[in-house]
Structure 1
Amino acid sequence: MSDRNVQRDVVVVDGESLVPEDVVAVARYDARVELDDDARERMQESRDRVESVVESGEPVYGVNTGFGHLVETHIDEEDIEQLQTNLVRSHSAGAGRELTREEVRSMMLTRVNTLAKGYSGIRPFVVDHLVTMLNEGVHPVVRSRGSLGASGDLAPLAHMALVLLGGGEALVDGERLSGEDALATADLEPVTLASKEGLALINGTQLTVGLASLFVVDAEEILDAADAAGALTTEVTMGTTANCDPKIHEVRPHPGQKESAAAIRRLTADSTVLESHKDCERVQDAYSIRCLPQVHGAARDAVDHLREAVEVELNSATDNPLVFEAGSVDERAPGTDVAAVVSAGNFHGEPLALRLDYAAGALTDLAAISERRADRMLNPEVQEEYLPPFLTEHSGLRSGYMIAQYTAAALLNECRSFGRPSIDSTPVSGGQEDHVSMSGQSALNARRVAENVATIVGVELLCGAQAAEFLDDGLELGTGTGAARDEVRSVVPPLDEDRPLDEELETAADLVRFGAIRAAVESVLD
């Protein structure tokens, strides 16, 4: 598992070493961005190659031709700058809700990083503008829908780039300004795009990979919190952790399964609750407890699989065409004695789309098992021997946490409704772009899933903390589960009588998603 620390003051962008935690640090916590000097030199060399192609007059896609279906249309040299401006304006055709502040920042940062690799032919001056916008809090207004994930996330990135030109709108300290006025708050002038620069700004997977980075970090926090919630439920329902014995998982050694089983053992260490009933007559726990390592572990493996792709994609060149040194690629690639500009398909989001759908589905199943465990604590048909109905005294007069489980069930239903965008494709651009990935929609769906699942796991934690109120005197939770219970109790008091729960559900979700549960547990176990 990666280092979860996202508390950093500066993120240096070099096109080679960005990780999801860097994206979170910049997007969510406003870490300052600096551009690496070597990256600046690579970008300038790439720009020089583009200019050599322009001077040669050879037809090269994205430099002096139309786009998509209009690839065969030659553009005169005097119209090349207007071509790039028209591209950004025409592709700013998104719809739907506006991206959140952190979503926009994640897209801007990841675009800077891919440009920093030096294969896009853009002037460093333009990338400096994006860096300054990030550091000064100029956030383009970007519509969330419109990307097909090939040719990259065109529409969202175009809305971002439009502000560089002084067009569109941006938010600065919550105030909505024209693009030109927003740039002025950062002492920036609108950019006049040179050849290929419009395409360099909008052709790539940066909406997808930016959101995927946020999702990976959040999902890993959710997984750790779900282990804590499941361990707490195991204790308060008088279950057993025999299912987490190392011998069991050595004979089926999936990495995630072993990790979750080990986590449950650590979380419940020194639990006198578990010791109090180890000789009881119950033969087996329900699957939601007995199979916790297998289900949580499979979700862990799915998120790890996504992280692997995200870390590659963050530091990849996803532009089209790509600019290489002459003679360094296939001799059939168009170019001059100085440069080769090659059209290919690195903008296609399928490597992320398939894994995003897989990981979102896995997290949905994590939510399903968590919701079932919450029900086991609430359901009087299951827990009449140990816990009061719906975890409240005077049930009937009071409803306790009954409706919190309804909310968990509703959110779970929404997660299940999202489907798999990555297996769909709608041809566009007159059939030139005849297979697309829909990776942008996969990323947007995954974000919603993470938000919902954090709340569902939060419901389980709330129920677990409340159930612990009914333990016999003298019984103590495990070291880790006790810390998780205490973290919940630091912000949510026991449910002594019915009260509105909506704000408490949000609070619990934040404890899960933003790492408070993991941090509380690690503080007592490390």
Structure 2
Amino acid sequence: MIELTGSTLTLEQINKVCYEGATVRIAASSMEKVIASRAAVEKIVADKKTIYGINTGFGKFSDVMIEEDDVARLQLNLIRSHACGIGENFPEVVSRTMMLLRLNALIKGFSGVRPVLVETLVELLNKKIHAVVPQQGSLGASGDLAPLSHLALVLIGEGDVFDNGVVVPSKTVLDREGIEPIVLQAKEGLALINGTQAMTAMGVINYLEAEKLAYQSEWISAMTIEGLQGIIDAFHPAIHEARGYPQQMDVAKRMRDILQDSKLTTHQGEIRVQDAYSLRCIPQVHGASWQALDYVKEKLEIEANAATDNPLIFDNGETIISGGNFHGQPIAFAMDFMKIAVAELANISERRIERLVNPQLNDLPPFLSPEPGLQSGAMIMQYAAASLVSENKTLAHPASVDSIPSSANQEDHVSMGTIGSRHASMIIQNTRNVLAIECICSLQAAEYRGIDKMAPHTREKLQALREVVPSITLDRIFSTDIKQVAEWLKANN
């Protein structure tokens, strides 16, 4: 059980809720803030004060006053009209994360929603009822309006949900589970959709996958080093301490630990004086990716605990300020940095694959083929890796440098952060496949050198992976191998 306060949610806790199915509850102190915030909204309505989003239209319609009798209909119209997502749906785990993050934002007590609304979100989370949310259609300011509207539809008994992997109308599942749909009241529709939770949810899932990939890239590259009899001296602590980047030093230490007691590594001058950069510079390149990932993690944890709707209610309703916390620029930048960081893990991996298969660059069988010439071996696996790396270069173009005005130029600068988060997800999938290819090739090369000479750590990985893909003794449909190793990497550490 994870207790939500609105300000203390970590990525580790999100992982427990969204991947491991942990349940949640709202801290008593946070529920008190929700109650006080809602009382402030109800007082505004009763006093007939004019406040944006409570009794006005939205966006360019902010100057249109709404009669008290129409305030509830205003919120319903908002959700229905803004639910115009397009394309493939977000993975169910992203939808669950989106719901968790929106709940955590609402209980900060700045949004003015009723307790019943946040309690219903808790019930949906704990019963694993997740909205079907299309991926496309958000500009990333005024928040993720379209995706979050699809999330909000479920609360009012509309839209679709996942039910054991099948898409069904939400009302069907709500009726079965005995959950009463919400009738939205003043400000609640706006509070549900004015935020960055789609890009942030996708970003959190991206980070959790990218972090795992970054660690996996180290032991996979260590097996490549063994297959190529690489020079261990490049990971000597003195080199990395001399430069001073903590992440670089950490990668070098992990590489030393992974390769400890290996009889397949060499020292400078034994076979060659220096290795190519793709081997020698693993700490520098992977370490730089870790620097970017550390930045991304910091920004995601801030955003996961942020109040991102508009307007925000302070001082028990005495101060209500319309601002721009829904603008996704911080997460847009973070997603673009992540794209570059993960793409580089694939970039350098593909260069190591080339060194494993190119007979001009090693003394292994050409293309790791069991019968060079008659059988092509890993030749086209390198082609596939090169294709994925090239695609990553296109996807890594920053989404955050673009902006298109909307709402009759009232909303004249937007972040495109949700596009960035989606492209980051695609790069992560491509990179996992590139690392799967390097893994298959490094397994083969290390096996050729002698399994008994491998480091205990890498030998353990080889033995586990040989349960997934056999040694290359004959040409076969390697697409299957790549898919199986990629799935293994996604499921294991």
TM-score (norm 2): 0.96
Q: Hey, what does 2:360 align to over in structure 1? A: 381
Runs of 4+ in 1 over 6 A off after TM superposition: none
Give the C-alpha shift of residue 502 in structure 1. 2.4
Q: Hey, what does 1:438 align to over in structure 2? A: 416
Give the C-alpha shift of residue 495 in structure 1. 1.5
Matches of 1:410 and 1:31, distance apart in 2: 39
Deviations 1:450-477 (A, max 9, x none): 111111112111111111121158x511
C-alpha contact 1:114 1:314 (8 A) present in aligned 2: yes
Q: Hey, what does 1:367 align to over in structure 2? A: 346
Matches of 2:168 and 2:192, distance apart in 1: 21
Q: Hey, what does 1:316 align to over in structure 2? A: 306
C-alpha contact 2:349 2:434 (8 A) present in aligned 1: yes
Letter in 1 for 2:302: V
Deviations 1:233-253 (A, max 9, x none): 111101102111111111111
Q: Hey, what does 1:116 align to over in structure 2? A: 107
Matches of 1:472 and 1:13, distance apart in 2: 52
Alignment of structure 1 residues 431-510 onto 2, 5 Å: 431-472=409-450, 476-510=453-487
SS of residue paired to 1:176: strand
Give the C-alpha shift of residue 481 in structure 1. 2.2
Residue 183 (str. 1) matches residue 160 (str. 2): no
Give the C-alpha shift of residue 23 in structure 1. 2.2
Match of 2:77 among 75, 79, 86: 86
Which residues of structure 2 form unaligned runs of 5+? none
Matches of 1:189 and 1:45, distance apart in 2: 24
Give the C-alpha shift of residue 273 in structure 1. 1.3
C-alpha contact 1:133 1:186 (8 A) present in aligned 2: no
Identity %: 40
Residue 413 (str. 1) matches residue 394 (str. 2): no
Alignment of structure 1 residues 67-146 onto 2, 5 Å: 67-146=58-137
SS of residue paired to 1:239: coil
Letter in 2 for 1:169: D
CA RMSD of superposed structures (Å): 1.5
Deviations 1:299-338 (A, max 9, x none): 0000000001001111111111111115xxxxxxxxxxx4
Matches of 2:115 and 2:419, distance apart in 1: 31
Letter in 1 for 2:348: I
Alignment of structure 1 residues 287-306 onto 2, 5 Å: 287-306=277-296
C-alpha contact 2:268 2:274 (8 A) present in aligned 1: no
Alignment of structure 1 residues 515-526 onto 2, 5 Å: 516-517=492-493
Match of 2:247 among 256, 259, 262: 256
Deviations 1:261-314 (A, max 9, x none): 111111111111125x66524121111011111100000000000001001111
Matches of 1:279 and 1:377, distance apart in 2: 21
Q: Hey, what does 2:189 align to over in structure 1? A: 198
Q: How many residues align?
A: 492
Residue 283 (str. 1) matches residue 248 (str. 2): no
Match of 1:232 among 223, 226, 247: 223
C-alpha contact 1:49 1:325 (8 A) present in aligned 2: no
Matches of 2:101 and 2:359, distance apart in 1: 50
Match of 2:329 among 329, 350, 359: 350
Which residues of structure 1 form unaligned runs of 5+? 1-9, 327-337, 518-526
Distance 1:175-1:364 versus aligned 2 partners, 3 A rule: closer
Letter in 1 for 2:336: D
Deviations 1:87-130 (A, max 9, x none): 00010011111111111111111111111111111112111212
C-alpha contact 1:269 1:478 (8 A) present in aligned 2: yes
Give the C-alpha shift of residue 21 in structure 1. 2.5
Deviations 1:377-412 (A, max 9, x none): 1112212x2x11121211222122222222222221
Deviations 1:5-34 (A, max 9, x none): xxxxx3322212212222233223322222
TM-score (norm 1): 0.91
Q: Hey, what does 1:422 align to over in structure 2? A: 400
Distance 1:128-1:503 versus aligned 2 partners, 3 A rule: farther
Residue 398 (str. 1) matches residue 389 (str. 2): no
Matches of 2:7 and 2:125, distance apart in 1: 19
Give the C-alpha shift of residue 504 in structure 1. 2.3
Is 85-94 or 374-383 further displaced after alignment?
374-383
